[in-house]
Amino acid sequence: MRTVQIAAVLLSLLLTSFSLMAQDADRLRPFVLAETSQTPLDAKLQSVQAALGQAGFAIAGEYVPYAGAHILIITDESLRKQAAGSPMGGYGVALRVSLTEQDGAVQVSYTDPRWMGNVYRMAGDFKALSDRLQAALGRENTFGSEGGRTVENLREYHYMMFMPYFDDQVELASYDSHQAALDAVEAGLAAGKGGVTLISRVDVIGKEESLFNVAVKQGAGADAPVMQIIDQAAMRHTAHLPYDLLVSGGKVYMLHGKFRIAQSFPDLTMTTFMKISDAPDGIEQALKMAAGGN
């Protein structure tokens, strides 16, 4: 009888374990660790670029926000078309791959397409895109949110009560046409207004929408000092950068800083968030200047 009872307990524990594993598999996290490499960053960068190219991805831009970090902005034709199917889908028209030196190794990570697609409320399935990135770069595990988030939670994501949602976007400037808006943003970035410069531009196919990835180098929202405060976990969130602004029709928008930062750092404590309390407004001021807003 005792043997039967022990077997029943073990079976119950095993089923519970399987159930928890299944629940965790349904939860998403903002970043994927492709691999931790002993290859020097510059050499690893070359192999990552080659792997992305062979997998059909285009590198739209590159960014070195500080020493020991290199970020690639990537996209492809299918993603540029898919982004047209959702309101403000242009925010998800590009993904980010990062290489970060940490503890004598190089962490190769990328933004999880499924997290990004759902947090930006995009239509369509991102499994094929995820599979291609996994085949090209690898997928050791996901990170950036200890408990993970369900698809339902992500599509209504906000950091906490009274904090902004995806659709609480900031209008930076308005122009008479899409082309006029594009020209103004291009000019502002070329001039480095607000300490903001261009990293990449990716155009949505089939819609008047363009995503500009930008470097913020000055002010309270500058990339390096903000990341120095909030990116202290063992697994670096380097692919949080760069920030972006979206030209949709004749208007220029940005995601609210309290949403944009929180969706990459959902487990950030309020104590740490308060240390960068000036950053969201600083980013908005900088991007507004770059966009030519008043």
pLDDT score of 13: 44
**Per-residue model confidence as pLDDT tens digits over 258-281:** 999 999 999 999 999 999 999 999
List the end-to-end C-alpha distance of the chain, in Å, as a whole number: 80
For residue 159, tell me if it sits in a domain. Answer: yes
For residue 14, tell me if it sits in a domain. Answer: no
| 183 vs 177: CA distance, rounded Å | 10
DSSP H helical segments within 77-209, as ranges?
Answer: 77-82, 113-119, 127-137, 151-154, 178-190
DSSP-assigned letters across all residues of 77-92: HHHHHHGGGSTTGGGG
- Looking at the structure of the chain, the number of domains it has is 1
**Per-residue model confidence as pLDDT tens digits over 67-111:** 999 999 999 999 999 999 999 999 999 999 999 999 999 999 999
Give pTM, 2 decimals.
0.91
- CA dihedral defined by 272, 275, 281, 287, rounded to 10 degrees? -80
pLDDT score of 291: 97
Residue keyed to tokens 């995009």: 122
CATH code (residue 155) = 3.30.310.70
Structure tokens at 43: 């050499």
Q: Rounded to 5 degrees, what are φ and ψ at 49? A: -60, -45
User: What pLDDT band is residue 19 in, cutting at 50, 70 and 90?
Assistant: very low
User: What pLDDT band is residue 15 in, cutting at 50, 70 and 90?
Assistant: very low
Farthest CA pair distance, the chain: 82
Q: What is the mean pLDDT of the chain?
A: 93
Sequence length of the chain is 294
For residue 13, tell me if it sits in a domain. Answer: no
Name the residue among 196, 197, 290, 294 with its Cα closest to residue 247: 290
For residue 61, tell me if it sits in a domain. Answer: yes
For residue 156, tell me if it sits in a domain. Answer: yes
For residue 110, tell me if it sits in a domain. Answer: yes
For residue 22, tell me if it sits in a domain. Answer: no
Check if the beta carbon of residue 252 is closer than 8 Å to that of residue 293.
yes
Q: Rounded to 5 degrees, what are φ and ψ at 237? A: -95, 35
- CA dihedral defined by 256, 249, 217, 40, rounded to 10 degrees? 100
Check if the beta carbon of residue 252 is closer than 8 Å to that of residue 171.
yes
Residue type at position 129: L
**Per-residue model confidence as pLDDT tens digits over 160-190:** 988 999 999 999 999 999 999 999 999 999 9
Domain of 194, in residue numbers: 28-291
Say whether 247 sits in a helix, a strand or coil: strand
pLDDT for 14 beyond 90? no
**Torsional sign, CA 190, 194, 199, 200:** negative
Mean pLDDT of the region 206-213: 98
For residue 7, tell me if it sits in a domain. Answer: no
pLDDT for 23 beyond 50? no
